Structure 1
Amino acid sequence: MTAPHPRYRRALAIPVGTALATALAFLPNVSASAAPQAAPQAASAADATSLSYVVNVRPGHGVPRHVTKAIAEAGGTIVTSYDRIGVIVVHSANPDFAKTVRAVRGVDSAGNTRNAPLPAQSTGDLGAPKVLSAAEVAAAEAADGKDPLEPLQWDLPAIKADKAHEKTLGSSKVTVAVIDTGVDDTHPDIAPNFDRAASVNCVTGKPDTADGAWRPSAAESPHGTHVAGEIAAAKNGVGMTGVAPGVKVAGIKVSTTAGYFYTEAVVCGFVWAAEHGVDVTNNSYYTDPWYFNCKNDPDQKALVDAVTRASRYAEKKGAVNVAAAGNESYDLAADEITDPVSPNDGTPSDRVVDPSECLDIPTQLPGVVTVASTGAKGLKSSFSNYGLGVIDIAAPGGDSTSYQTPAPPATSGLILGTLPGGKWGYMAGTSMATPHVAGVAALIKSTHPHASPALVKGLLYAEADRTACTDPYDIDGDGKVDAVCEGPRNYNGFYGWGTADALDAVTR
């Protein structure tokens, strides 16, 4: 099930045969050019040819005067600066801006964060979700202390979250920030646990704290709302249950209306999380427009530098950063990978890259927990990226029901989550695996409130259920090996240190 790269980490939303098992229309097999076209966003005359840039300087010393002067002389306007990590966000219509500024004393790196002029033009409507109907939701009944839709969540017992909830639901003093497309905090499963103070809109690279700025509009993806519910949907007799239904969840919106996660927004998101007491960040996306950012390219190197500084700052301030491995069935430990869609906001071409030098960010950055996806049978999902030494841990992200069928009463091999407007629906992808790990990390932090990020990660890996390589891996049963897993049972390329374990998180 290889496919063109989605801008954020979602895999095939596979329709299944029952009314309850509805799927969202977020298909990695649907390229932007094949999708229905949405109306482009309006751009001002001043922005018609402008691009956004990051300029990286020495951290902790502000923007040097001579750098400020050089930026202006090169035709740049400073939007904001993150002095503690030395990242400056700039807009400029000068096509030679980055090259000019890179020559300035004190500038470590500089590069354009996008190819589309400000603001990014929409590349197409990703499609409206198909959701559980009101009648279907009403027909579900709570039983044995479970929320009504919990029997459909095969993923909770897969990581022993149901057993963990008998011990604790997690601490309300712990916050997980969903750095994503926005979170609908009015959803009845999210509202009880929403952390308003830790939520923000970072789309422009500069924090917007207006009330509700973190919410997705009706035209935007429900991806972030789905992720938020997987993590912390309240155990309140309504809808579904999150992995850590007693912790707080925040929304940090970093995606444009067109669905792009640009560097300046991602940097803003990590810095905001760092400075607002966030314990765990969930990152179910890759930073646009490059799937892999090659450090031998000066523009792409600047993007790696900026996001690395921001993610490390978040960890230094106490956050565990968790990220999705991706949905293209790539071996991220291979010598070469062909990237066919970068830059995804310009003119893509087939690039052959070395994934040890060309990084998927934030997924492959130092200190980040990299998550692979499993299906209802506990096997690597057909779409999940993998790679020995790259994958840290695995968790349920769903798969085609024809490949991995869940046990009844669950009916879909996908992952149930919350949707804007008080709805629920199914998705699949490493995007869905990542919030399971973020939720388990939040339970660990709840159990060990003074644990450092390093200790939380150490416990996450030590407590994971060791999962041996699937060999041979023929997920579709056609007699051909679909991927090769390397490494022993306790640490391998499909499952890393193993499958996340929520029960151990609250008992050990």
Structure 2
Amino acid sequence: MGALAAGSLLTGAASAGAAPAKGTAAEYLVFYAPGARDDALAAIKGAGGTPGAVDAKLGYVLARGAGAGFAERLGASASIVGVTADRRIGAATSLAASGASRTASTSTAAASAATTGAAASTAGADPLSSRQWDMKMIGATASGSYAKARGNKKVLVGIIDTGVDGKHPDIAPNFNRALSRNFVTDRPNDPNGKELDGPCEVKSCKDPADVDDDGHGTHVASTIGSPLNGLGVAGVAPDVSLVNIRAGTDSGFFFLKPVLDALTYAGDAGIDVVNMSFFVDPWTFNCANNPQDSRAEQLQQKGVITGVQRALDYARARGVTLITALGNGSTDLGHPTVDKESPGYPLGGERERKIDNSCVNVPAESRGVISVSALGPSGRKAWYSDYGIEQTDLSAPGGDPSDSGTSLKGNAREILAAAPEKALRRQKLIDASGKPTGPSVVRDCRNGRCAYYQYLSGTSMASPHAAGVAAILVARFGKPGKGGLALAPATVERLLYATATPTACPASGSTRYSVSEETHVCAGSRAKNGFYGHGIVSASRAATVKG
């Protein structure tokens, strides 16, 4: 999406749009129909390609093919259901400040830049808990869920994101290094020579599994499960195990294959809950049969829809509860009409096309996922958050700098969570001495330890609240299983909805957002509507509900 008053939106910032140039060989993920592997291999050869590794779990072949017509030739076979080039195709869904890091805070004033040696934490709270209005909203406080249910180290929460800083002092006590994996090889530049991830930090260009050079994934992990340790902040479920399942690049973009690999690994490793604060595809909306798209583009979108759905189904069948950010497009996903942001790659390739509700945002509108909208501190739907009565399952605090229905100001209206020092230095958000250069970053120092925290907004910040509540439920009701505890995703989903706080649409049925000059209409009842879904997630209710 384009730059707006509060910053640019990342739900369509990068992609894998066009086919390779004529005569240029490229790698494709070729998805075949059930039982049609052999026919697909023959079709690849018949189209002039070379088949490679076969992923029998998700039903696709890695193939090399040359020429702009390779995908179309493949698509002529009844055995092929999708053909997607294995290139950069996704983006993390947090907001970004104009001219700053893509995960930097979007607002300007208010909170102090550093807290060094401040008052000690109160019983059952951490020193910066007073800044966590989000935890108060869902009852994750000393007098709420912390007193009754904090999760369990046997509960494994996977963060499919840009990585997790496993050495961060407010992440490390709960970081499961043994199970963490990185499925991404950084790319210094894109195919056109423009900088993507920048210089590789290690020779192999594949970072260790405890590194986050972007900061997005660390913020998400912190919201889910930063420990109650007398430093900084605490997460929704401060006693769970955090597992980095990295699928995003340093620059915050995602490739299809790492996403598929991450979801498959989550199912195989016994992960209980995964948080997906990203969307996949160069197309903000994936349309399988849009007549305005070329045949190659249709096949590409079918490949993403099919591949991600198969990976989600694989993980869910193995006990993984799937939670995702709804998106920052400020759009009623039940009634989309125009997509002006796609395909976002190669750069400058965007065009306007008419769309309808047959077009979907992946994974937010995929089957079997729990999609979460974002709220500001007043409880109002955040201006940027996507919505829709079919699509919104739950709501949670995600921050909104424009929310005037609260006494909080500026950055204090956003979500505060852990940030990697290295990423902040690169973004020039802290200076050479370690002092924050602005109000979007907070430093907390205790007993010779210092750690950094960042204010961010986005549906990326909302979904980890739901993931944390899901982890509490798994800890309370799960039975011994692979990896530790296990609870059927359908049961987790039922309990999440049952413990959410039902919230009605605005009295007028709509909300006017001055920052975007839009009116968003909320449809549905108090029990289920387009802004809040089944309600606002509640850690305190999850801590006391009877299974």
TM over 0.5: yes
What residue is the counterpart of 2:130 in the other structure? 151
Q: Does residue 88 of the first structure (1) align with residue 125 of the second (2)?
A: no
Q: Which residue of 2 aligns with 1:241?
A: 234
Is the 1:260–1:289 contact (alpha carbons within 8 Å) kept by the matching residues of 2? no
Q: Does the CA-based 8 Å contact 1:114-1:345 persist in structure 2?
A: no
- Equivalents in 2 of 1:77, 1:142: separation in Å? 61
Deviation track 1:158-188 (CA, whole Å, cap 9, x = no partner) reads 0111111110210111111111111111111
**Contact 2:124–2:146 (CA under 8 A) maintained in structure 1:** no
1:71 deviation in Å?
3.2
- Determine which of 146, 154, 173 is the counterpart of 2:154: 173
Contact 1:404 1:413 in 2 (8 A): no
Q: 1:170 to 1:209 in 2, by over 3 A?
A: farther
Contact kept in structure 1, 2:382 and 2:403, CA below 8 Å: no
Judge conservation of contact 1:74–1:94 (CA < 8 Å) in 2: no
- Kindly indicate whether residue 496 of structure 2 is the aligned counterpart of residue 498 of structure 1: no
Q: Distance in 2 between matches of 1:425 and 1:478?
A: 23
Asked if 2 retains the 8 angstrom alpha-carbon contact of 1:288 and 1:344, the reply is no
* Structure 1 SS opposite 2:519: coil
Which residue of 2 is the match for residue 288 of structure 1?
281
Q: Which moved more, 1:370-379 or 1:136-145?
A: 136-145
The SS at the match of 1:507 is coil
Residue 212 of structure 1 pairs with residue 208 of structure 2: yes
Q: Sort the Cα spacing of 1:142 and 1:72 in 2 relative to 1 into closer, same or farther, 3 A.
A: farther
Residue from 56, 62, 75 that aligns with 1:102: 75
Aligned partners of 1:4 and 1:204: how far apart in 2?
A: 28
**Structure 1, residues 437-474: CA drift from partner, whole Å, max 9, x if none?**
01111111111104310010011011110000013344
Of 11, 24, 30, the match for 1:55: 30
Measured in 2, the distance between the counterparts of 1:396 and 1:115 equals 29
CA apart distance, 1:141: 3.2
One-letter amino acid of the counterpart of residue 391, structure 1: T
The C-alpha deviation readout for 1:15-62, integer Å capped at 9, x for no partner, is xxxxxxxxxxx74299979xxxxxxxxxxxx9x945442211255x79
In 2, Cα distance between equivalents of 1:288 and 1:240: 34
Look up the SS of the partner of 1:359 in the other structure: coil
Equivalent residue, structure 1, for 2:478: 449
* Cα distance between partner residues in 1 of 2:247 and 2:452: 22
TM-score, L = length of structure 2:
0.76
CA distance in 1, matches of 2:477, 2:412: 35
* Deviation by residue 1:355-382 (Cα, 9 ceiling, x = unmatched): x311100100111101101111111111
Residue 385 of structure 2 corresponds to: 384
The CA deviation string for residues 221-272 of structure 1, in whole angstroms up to 9 with x for no partner, is 2111110111011111111101111111111221234432222221111111
Which residue among 112, 128, 152 is the counterpart of 2:85?
A: 112
What's the CA shift for 1:312?
0.8
Q: Equivalent of 1:489, from 519, 523, 526?
A: 526
Any idea what the Cα deviations from partners look like across 1:366-411, whole Å, max 9, x if unmatched? 1110110111111111111111121001000011155243569x97
Q: Say if 1:31 and 1:489 are closer, same or farther in 2 by CA, change over 3 A.
A: closer
Q: 1:97: how far off? A: 2.4
SS of 2:412's equivalent in the other structure is: coil
Q: CA deviation at 1:114?
A: 4.4
Per the alignment, residue 351 of structure 1 pairs with 353
Residue equivalent to 1:203: 184
Change (3 A) 1:96 1:481: closer
2:81 touches 2:299 (CA, 8 Å); kept in 1? no
SS in structure 1 opposite 2:245? strand
Identity of aligned residues (%): 37
Separation (CA, whole Å) in 1 of partners of 2:380 and 2:287: 31
1:56-83 alpha-carbon deviations (Å, 9 max, x no partner): 1255x7953x644543564545564321
Q: State whether residues 377 and 403 of structure 2, in contact with CA within 8 Å, keep that contact through their aligned partners in structure 1.
A: no
8 Å CA contact 2:383, 2:515 repeated in 1: no
Answer whether contact 2:88 2:254 (CA < 8 A) is retained. no
- The 3-state SS of whatever aligns with 2:84 is strand
Gaps of 5+ in 1: 6-10, 15-25, 34-45, 117-123
Name the Cα RMSD after superposition: 3.4
1:113 Cα deviation (Å)? 4.8
Q: Quick check: 1:58–1:106 contact (8 Å CA) kept in 2?
A: yes
Distance, in Å, in 2 between the alignment partners of 1:209 and 1:476 is 43
Pair 211,431 (structure 1): closer, same or farther in 2 beyond 3 Å = closer
Distance in 2 between residues matched to 1:351 and 1:289, nearest whole Å: 14
What is the match of residue 414 of structure 2? Answer: 414
CA, structure 1 residues 128+210, in 2 after alignment: closer, same or farther (shift >3 Å)?
Answer: closer
Q: Distance in 2 between matches of 1:403 and 1:274?
A: 42
Check the 8 A contact 2:167/2:210 in 1, yes or no: no
Residue 459 of structure 1: aligned partner = 495
- In structure 2, the CA distance between the partners of 1:256 and 1:97, relative to structure 1 (3 Å rule), is farther
**Larger displacement relative to structure 2 (305-314 or 338-347):** 338-347
Q: Deviations over 1:390-433 (max 9, x none)?
A: 1001000011155243569x970100111113421110011100
- What are structure 2's unaligned runs of at least 5 residues? 15-20, 90-98, 187-203, 290-297, 422-450, 480-486
Query: In 1, distance between residues paired with 2:166 and 2:36?
Result: 35
| Superposition pairs of residues 313-332 of structure 1, within 5 angstroms | 313-332=314-333
Change (3 A) 1:406 1:150: farther
Matched residue type, 1:376:
P
Q: Distance in 2 between matches of 1:396 and 1:435?
A: 10
Aligned residue number for residue 267 of structure 2: 274
Residue of 438, 448, 452 corresponding to 1:423: 452
Please give the secondary structure, in 1, of the residue aligned with 2:338.
Answer: strand
Paired residue secondary structure (1:55): strand
The answer to whether the Cα contact below 8 Å between 2:11 and 2:284 also exists between their aligned partners in 1 is no
Distance across 2 between alignment mates of 1:479 and 1:203: 35
SS at match of 1:483: strand
